[in-house]
């Protein structure tokens, strides 16, 4: 049994805290909001997960010192836009060699760093890994069969994460391709926005399939340029995560895209979804990475134009369809 803190009491952090508690670990769930912590302690139910009852042994805190000290592992599960700030707050309490597991998906807009890079930059003495894959929080919390990938530069660290999380309904594979895992997790949110926009416009399954397959092609094109492995994008954290995010109504990115496709402004769509829409925050960073690496990412490009340059959604689809003809595999 390990002592584990989960930082972030939203749907994903709470679902993972439940999973770790099921595995027999001593779990402390941290929220930055004292009133929310008190609500969790009093009701032992998660409003973020539709009122699901929380395991009896799970504990709660808003004290970062308590969450950060003397833990075997710390899971960073806040939305990606808050990762750096939370890591900075955590830093004074982390011991050398502390295992930190990043489970958010995104690229920092200013630095173009991935989640593990941000955390490592803020806490240089920690051992940083990631966990990613097609894993809606709502389904993990209901103990539905799910598969993910634990990623770390050192395979032994990835196996340590695997051992903490894996059980009979949550299968975990390992990989040393952290860059590929994190790129797939971040860009799939942007492609899911495009898939949702297509749904909002009333387009069909053919359109969705095109966006998924060409979306993974352009993500892989950038990933290989960054030094990631092509195989990663054919796996759970590439095409697997992209399929589930583009197809499910659990996906906040798809839901936001549907509203945008129906004509609602971006800010209004985000408010209506009621949760952080990660793809909106990753879109600019993904495009900036592509431009820096001189990699063509046409879907990411038109999503940025729809989000930030008032390009009509139907016009964006026309632009994609009327691009110059190319061979499929010569250009991925």
218 neighbors 138 (Cβ within 8 angstroms): no
Closest by CA position to 312, among listed 256, 264, 246, 245? 264
Our answer to whether residue 65 is catalytic in this structure is no
Q: For residue 198, what are its two tokens?
A: 């297509």
Q: Quote the distance between the C-alpha of residue 78 and its chain's center.
A: 10
Residue of 3, 45, 105, 188 with catalytic role: 188
- Cα–Cα distance for residue pair 106/272, rounded to 1 Å: 21
Residue the block writes with tokens 């110059």:
324
Overall size of the chain counted in residues: 332
- Cα–Cα distance for residue pair 301/291, rounded to 1 Å: 10
- Cα–Cα distance for residue pair 272/264, rounded to 1 Å: 10
3-state secondary structure of 74: strand
- Cα–Cα distance for residue pair 221/47, rounded to 1 Å: 40
How many Cβ atoms from other residues are within 10 Å of residue 177's Cβ? 22
Beta strands 59-61 and 26-30, pairing class: parallel
Sheet harboring 170-175: ordered strands across?
59-61, 26-30, 3-7, 73-76, 99-102, 127-132, 146-151, 170-175
Residue the block writes with tokens 């960054």:
226
CA distances from 258 to 185, 263, 281 (A): 20, 9, 17
- The residues carrying an active-site annotation are 188
């Amino acid at each position: 049994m390990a002592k584990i803190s989960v930082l972030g009491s939203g749907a994903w952090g709470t679902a993972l805290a439940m999973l770790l508690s099921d595995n027999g670990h001593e779990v402390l769930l941290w929220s930055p909001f004292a009133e929310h912590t008190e609500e969790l302690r009093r009701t032992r139910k998660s409003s973020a997960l539709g009122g699901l009852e929380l395991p009896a042994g799970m504990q709660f805190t808003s004290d970062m010192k308590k969450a950060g000290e003397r833990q075997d592992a710390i899971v960073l599960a806040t939305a990606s836009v808050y990762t750096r700030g939370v890591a900075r707050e955590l830093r004074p309490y982390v011991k050398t060699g502390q295992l930190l597991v990043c489970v958010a998906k995104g690229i920092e807009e200013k630095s173009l760093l991935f989640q593990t890079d941000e955390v490592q930059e803020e806490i240089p003495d920690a051992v940083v890994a990631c966990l990613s894959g097609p894993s809606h929080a709502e389904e993990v919390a209901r103990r539905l069969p799910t598969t993910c990938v634990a990623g770390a530069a050192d395979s032994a660290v990835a196996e340590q994460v695997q051992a903490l999380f894996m059980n009979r309904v949550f299968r975990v594979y390992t990989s040393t391709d952290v860059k590929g895992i994190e790129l797939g997790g971040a860009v799939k949110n942007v492609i899911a926005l495009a898939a949702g926009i297509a749904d909002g416009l009333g387009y069909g399954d053919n359109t969705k399939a095109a966006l998924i397959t060409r979306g993974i092609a352009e993500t892989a094109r950038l990933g290989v340029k960054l030094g990631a492995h092509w195989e990663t994008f054919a796996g759970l954290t590439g095409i697997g995560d992209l399929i589930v995010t583009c197809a499910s109504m659990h996906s906040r990115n798809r839901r936001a895209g549907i509203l945008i496709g129906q004509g609602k402004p971006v800010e209004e769509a985000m408010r209506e979804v009621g949760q952080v829409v990660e793809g909106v925050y990753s879109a600019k960073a993904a495009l900036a990475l592509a431009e820096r690496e001189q990699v063509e990412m046409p879907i990411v490009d038109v999503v940025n134009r729809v989000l930030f340059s008032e390009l009509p959604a139907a016009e964006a689809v026309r632009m994609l369809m009327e691009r110059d003809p190319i061979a499929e595999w010569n250009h991925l």
